Structures are given as structure tokens and as C-alpha cells.
Amino acid sequence: MMSSGPNVDVEDLNWLIVGLGNPGERYERTRHNVGFLVADELARRASVQIKRLECQSLVGRFEYEREVAELVKPQTFMNLSGEAVKCLLHKIDRGLERMIVVVDDLALPFGSIRLRKKGSAGGHNGLKSIIGSTGTDEFGRLRIGIAPEHPVANTKKFVLDSFPAGDSAEVVEIVERSADAVLAVIRDGFESAMSEFNG
């Protein structure tokens, strides 16, 4: 059961779910913004809005299985995501051990997802920024595969392009499964969720 938590005291916060992407209408449905799409799906399920301004981010709060979580969409643009995350982590009762960063991954096949408790940036500028700002790579992340079927000459253009219309149904399914994975981590812990979704 998910619900909004407008009266939850900030001292009771537990989870920080950070969907990475770029702000603005131009980037809304691009491959690089799949982290935003997952945050929006979780907000839809909880009937909350991600609109509170804090630390150069849009933030929304919800409750799930007696846990309180915040959905975060940094507005700094991808390459500076770490500035927003570092600021948010300085607030009361927020820690790396209960943070999940949701990102696109060019190294994973389109449609696959992988939960990890820690790891390198793997060439992802958003993760690189967060690791640089926090000084550690020991935080959870959900990587969502966007790899093309065939090699592309310009990977920057590829990730900043929108998903093809023909992939729209599969994108919806990927986003829904990714949201399920995030909730599984909150409900059952990383190890159990990894066993369920990394197969």
C-alpha cells in the first residue's frame, strides 16, 4: 500500500529515490531521462506530485510498507546531479545507505534492469557526478538498459534522442518493472530484490 505523506516529519524520513535526467520539455521522453520516468511512475502510484523545490531538485514524499521515502528529480542537468544529491544528503535522517539512484545504462540491453548496492560510474556522467560529490560509490542504484541493437556513431545524440514510437509499449513495461524493483528494495531489502529482478 502506497500513500502520500504530507504530515510526515522530516526526522522520520528513510529512503531517498533519485531518478536522474535532464529538466525541460525537450528531454522529457529521451532515453537519458528514464530515471525521471520511473520517479514519475512511483509518484503516480502513490498519488503524489514531485513538485517541492529543495536542493535544486523537485521532491515528492510517500509512504510504503511503513517506510517513508522521497522521490527526487534533480534539476541541475545530468552532469551536475551530484550537487543536488550532496545537498539533500546533508538534511536530517538521509543517508547513502538508504539511497537508490535510478539511471539509464548504455552497457545493458534495452529492456533489462540491474540492481546494485554499489559500483563504479560505468561511464555515466550522472553517477560520476554523484560519486565525485559524495566521495564514494557505495550507494544503491537501479540501472536500466537502453543499449541500441546496432552500434551508433554518436552515443551522446543517441541517449538524448526520444524513444522510438514503436518502443512505447515496451518502455511503459520497463518503467513499471523498474518501479516494482525500487519498491521491492524498500519492502524486502537489496539482496532479496536483486535476486528477484536481476535474473
Give me the active site residues, please. Answer: 32
Contact between residue 5 and residue 63 where contact means Cβ atoms under 8 Å apart: yes
List CB contacts of 11: < 8 A, sequence separation 6 or more.
92, 93
Distance CA 133, CA 139 (A): 13
Q: What Cα–Cα distance (Å) separates residue 11 from each residue in 15, 44, 69?
A: 12, 24, 12
Cell 533519485 maps to which residue? 18
